[in-house]
Amino acid sequence: MSAVLEVRGLTKRFGNTAAVDDLSLTVAGGEIFGLVGPDGAGKTTALRLLTGVMAATAGSATVLGVDVTREPEALRHRIGYVPQGGSLYADLTALENLRFYADLFGVPCAERNRRAQDLLALSRLAPFASRLARNLSGGMRQKLALCAALIHRPEVLFLDEPTLGVDPVSRRDFWLLIHQLLQQGLTLMVSTPYLDEAERCHRVGLMHRGRLVACDAPSALRRLLPGALLELRGVSADAARGILARLPEVRGFEVFGETLHVSVGETGTALPAIRAALERAGQSGAALRQIPPSLEDVFIAVLRQRSRHAGAAAPPPDTWDARRGPA
């Protein structure tokens, strides 16, 4: 499928700080592309550049054949954009918000009410059409903001951390709605700090300090982690560090909540070696098993590898938790 979005060397500087640094990527039609990273990674700035909200310092971005860096106004009616926190009017009802955005985008009068009703039905917000936006739950407001961005039937939709601070059930419902939209031919770019949401994307770009450090399908990104991954439970982090650091079979380990993720070359020799070391240390009750790597494991491994090549200290792994977003 042909590309609807092509980015080459896109850069945005604020003084000496590069919020987005030499970003290059391509998004195909009908694809969900996820930009993933912690706070300060450059996700929001990247989306503002790609939607023409902000001017780039250098590079180019083409969306639907339009050069956003040169002709942002030519793209306004062909894309939808839900900024971080949404863009609803609190003193308008759900239906009034949709009618307002329909007016803003010049939707024909004969179409406005039907489109609004269709979107309210699609998002299951029809029973709340007359409720003020400020009285909707967080999840409902996010769905309404999505509907407002769809009222003019855009070809490409940009969503900036659309489920940040939303409860897990509402997050799930929001993503079900996104996949329904995908079946209607939309192309979506979504930024998120939640790596479990990234698993729902066709391809994912991992961002760190303004740069794209890896980009591929989630399954391909997981293969970037060499060797195997083990999960260790029932041992304190301090005790585990003392035990694992002395084992040649262990390549590295990270704290993940109440567990440790241990990177090893291969399980045939590593599993018995670690179990024996745990028994010698009086930790025979610890649970050890092999697990598939998550995107968070991959992200940390990629950053550590880049840090080693640059000769810099690795970033602290505990500043970002994929289960709850940025710290």
- CA-to-CA distance for 123 and 117, rounded, in angstroms? 10
Q: Does 252 lie in the same domain as 110?
A: no
Task: Print the SS3 string covering 136-190.
Answer: CCHHHHHHHHHHHHHCCCCCEEEEECCCCCCCHHHHHHHHHHHHHHHCCCCEEEE
Question: pLDDT tens digits, residue range 37-47?
Answer: 888 899 999 99
Q: How many structural domains compose the chain?
A: 2
Question: 185 in the Ramachandran plot: left (φ > 0), alpha (ψ -120 to 50) or beta?
Answer: left
Q: Does 248 lie in the same domain as 122?
A: no
Question: pLDDT tens digits, residue range 147-184?
Answer: 999 999 999 999 999 888 888 888 888 888 888 888 88
CB 60 within 8 A of CB 8: yes
Quote the domain boundaries for residue 7.
3-216
Mean pLDDT of 256-285: 89
- CA-to-CA distance for 118 and 115, rounded, in angstroms? 5
Calculate the CA 94 to chain-centre distance. 27
Question: pLDDT tens digits, residue range 94-133?
Answer: 999 999 999 999 999 889 999 999 999 999 999 999 999 9
Calculate the CA 44 to chain-centre distance. 11
Q: Does 144 lie in the same domain as 256?
A: no
CATH number for position 295: 3.30.70.100
Which of 89, 64, 61, 90 is CA-nearest to residue 77? 64
